[in-house]
Amino acid sequence: MVSRKPPDGGWGWVIVVVSFFTQFLCYGSPLAVGVLYLEWLDAFGEGKGKTAWVGSLANGIGLLASPVCSICVSSFGARPVAIFSGFMVAGGLMMSSFAPNIYFLYVSYGIVVGLGCGLLYTATVTITCQYFDKRRGLALGLISTGSSVGLFIYAALQRELIELYGLDGCLLIVGALSLNILACGSLMRPLESSSSPPSEKMFVDKVPDQYFVYHEKEKTVEENISILEKGYIDEKCVNNVPDGKQDSILNTNALSSINVNEKDTYKKKVVEQTNFCKQLAKRKWQLYLTYWKETMVLFKNKVFSALFVAILLFDIGGFPPSLLMEDVARSANISEDDYYMPLISIIGIMTTVGKLILGILADFKWVNTLYLYVTTLLMTGVALFAIPFAKSYLTLAMLSGILGFLTGNWSIFPYVTTKTVGIEKLTHAYGILMFFAGLGNSLGPPIVGWFYDWTQEYNTAFYFSGFCVLLGGFLLLLAALPCWNACTNQSSKLPPNTYSYKVASNA
């Protein structure tokens, strides 16, 4: 079956709209979990580090399981995965309303909702890429803003629902809203093939005879085994009866001799099939070895090695503000009357702006995307260092906006990865980097929460966060400097299909 050329429009725009709302509905609550975090602290009385695991798992588990999510979408298609994941997200949110303790939330909200979000993200990106080629960047940019808009709206929505219906009622209502993902998923129609799919018989005719087991008769393996067993029983009976009765027995069991021949044929085909399976297993093993060899080759690229360290440290230090900023304001004794807008909502709307502006800048030929990404990392580290000095709502709102804008560097991260490893290895490298990003998302908030439990203030925690992000930025900058690459290129060659910094700087 030959896939049709991406139409770059038509039903593709419907895919963009439903993918936008899918990410809006599934990521709205997990990204705005900081509002729920305060309620869980009061409801269960656990430490900040232990409670922060709920939100960090919900945001990190999808990235950690990205290889599994990709396999599911490739095997079953975007539409079935989206519908199934919609049930997961809605069910996880509703189950969380009945949570008796924080450990229940780890499973219901952290794992179930988080894994559902990861599956939905993979499904929306995959189906969008199938429908768009020339306008793929625009389409992916539009659907990626769904999560940021969801963060902006759900932060205020969940706070209002908690005031009206309590924490349990809020989670039930948000879970019910997530059921709209089922409607969005049903509209993710797969791209039709250019011609009608060939019949099953055409595929069968193309398979060599030696790959069939007992192809003379269209019987299952169980039927063949039953035939053989019947042949053994009949043969034994014939050998144990008097000669006068053997003729009648042979007449009634005339197939016994045929079954013996079938037994020999079956054995022959089993041997052939066994050899085929051995060759297939050997080939699969070679593919796994090739995968790990390619992974090792990627890490020989110093820029890629620095990039994976940078993304890990960035998510450890840069993700906690979106989860803990509301608690930072409460710890600073800022009155709720001074709140004009939830700080998480400010982060959400500015992340949307950051994704758009940074994405546009990355398209200019005179802009070095790697330097642009490093700049966002260094500025994020400085902003994190400034949080302990913010003692009013206005200063916290300004820092939230700056951090939200800089977090929009996710939109240029694929550009940076492509210029680092090349388009041929983009998928492989991006999966590895997303795994470490998920690891950082999962570890960051609990580490910051543990710092608070240890020191009873957030200053040390955000100094640590700022240091992590700055360290990652400086390591990436050092690896990308032309003088460093000049020295490296003289001592050893870069792996094939990789880009030196000089190539990246000319992009």
**Of 147, 170, 191, the domain-final residue:** 191
The pLDDT assigned to 319 comes to 80
SS3 200: helix
Secondary structure tally for the chain: helices H, strands E: 23, 0
- Give the side-chain half-sphere CA count within 13 A for 439: 12
The pLDDT assigned to 174 comes to 94
Assigned token pair, 97: 């309303």
In a domain? residue 493: no
pLDDT class of 203 with cuts at 50, 70, 90: very low
Residues 292 and 148 in one domain: no
How far the first Cα of the chain sits from its last, in Å, is 37
CA distance 232 to 295: 54
In a domain? residue 46: yes
Q: C-alpha angle with apex 356: 350 to 361, nearest 5 degrees?
A: 120
Regarding predicted confidence, which is higher, 39 or 491? 39
Does the structure show a pLDDT above 80 at 429? no
**Of 128, 162, 191, the domain-final residue:** 191
In a domain? residue 113: yes
Assigned token pair, 19: 């993918």
In a domain? residue 449: yes
Q: With beta carbons less than 8 A apart as the criterion, state whether 115 and 61 touch.
A: yes
Enclosing domain of residue 80? 1-191
Does the structure show a pLDDT above 50 at 505? no
The pLDDT assigned to 449 comes to 81
CB count in 10 Å sphere of residue 133 = 13
Residues 316 and 440 in one domain: yes
DSSP string covering 454-491: HHSSSHHHHHHHHHHHHHHHHHHHHHH-HHHHHHHHHH
Residues 343 and 471 in one domain: yes
Taking residues 199-226, what's their average pLDDT?
Answer: 44
CA distance 495 to 87: 44
193 forms beta bridges with 3
In a domain? residue 234: no
The pLDDT assigned to 257 comes to 54
pLDDT class of 47 with cuts at 50, 70, 90: confident
In a domain? residue 14: yes
Q: With beta carbons less than 8 A apart as the criterion, state whether 377 and 310 touch.
A: yes
The pLDDT assigned to 382 comes to 93
CA distance 505 to 323: 35
In a domain? residue 283: yes
CA distance 108 to 85: 14
Residues 185 and 293 in one domain: no
Average pLDDT value for the chain: 77
In a domain? residue 503: no
Q: Which residue from 132, 113, 110, 112 is spatially nearest to 19, judged by alpha carbons?
A: 132
Residue with structure tokens 């169980």? 222
**Of 191, 218, 245, the domain-final residue:** 191
Q: What are phi and psi of 193, to 5 degrees?
A: -75, 160
- Going by the DSSP 8-state scheme, the letter that residue 45 receives in this structure is -
Assigned token pair, 286: 């070679």
What CATH number does the domain containing 320 carry? 1.20.1250.20
Q: Above pLDDT 70, what percent of the chain? A: 73
Name the H helices within 97-135.
Answer: 102-105, 114-131
Assigned token pair, 128: 């969008």
Q: How long, in residues, is the chain?
A: 507
Assigned token pair, 61: 């588990």
Residue with structure tokens 């199938």? 130
- Going by the DSSP 8-state scheme, the letter that residue 193 receives in this structure is B
Does the structure show a pLDDT above 70 at 96? yes
Which residues 6+ apart lie within 8 Å of 55 measured at CB?
Answer: 30, 33, 34, 36, 37, 110, 323, 445
What confidence tens digit (pLDDT) does each residue in 123-146 have?
Answer: 888 888 788 777 776 777 788 788
Residues 154 and 285 in one domain: no
Residues 284 and 418 in one domain: yes
Does the structure show a pLDDT above 80 at 398? yes
Look at 69-73, 154-158, 269-273 and tell me which has the smallest mean pLDDT. 269-273
Does the structure show a pLDDT above 60 at 23? yes
Provide the number of structural domains found in the chain: 2
Residues 187 and 336 in one domain: no
Residues 172 and 284 in one domain: no
Helices 369-386 and 302-318 meet at what angle, rounded to 10? 30
Residues 462 and 365 in one domain: yes
Q: C-alpha angle with apex 445: 331 to 20, nearest 5 degrees?
A: 105
CA distance 369 to 361: 8
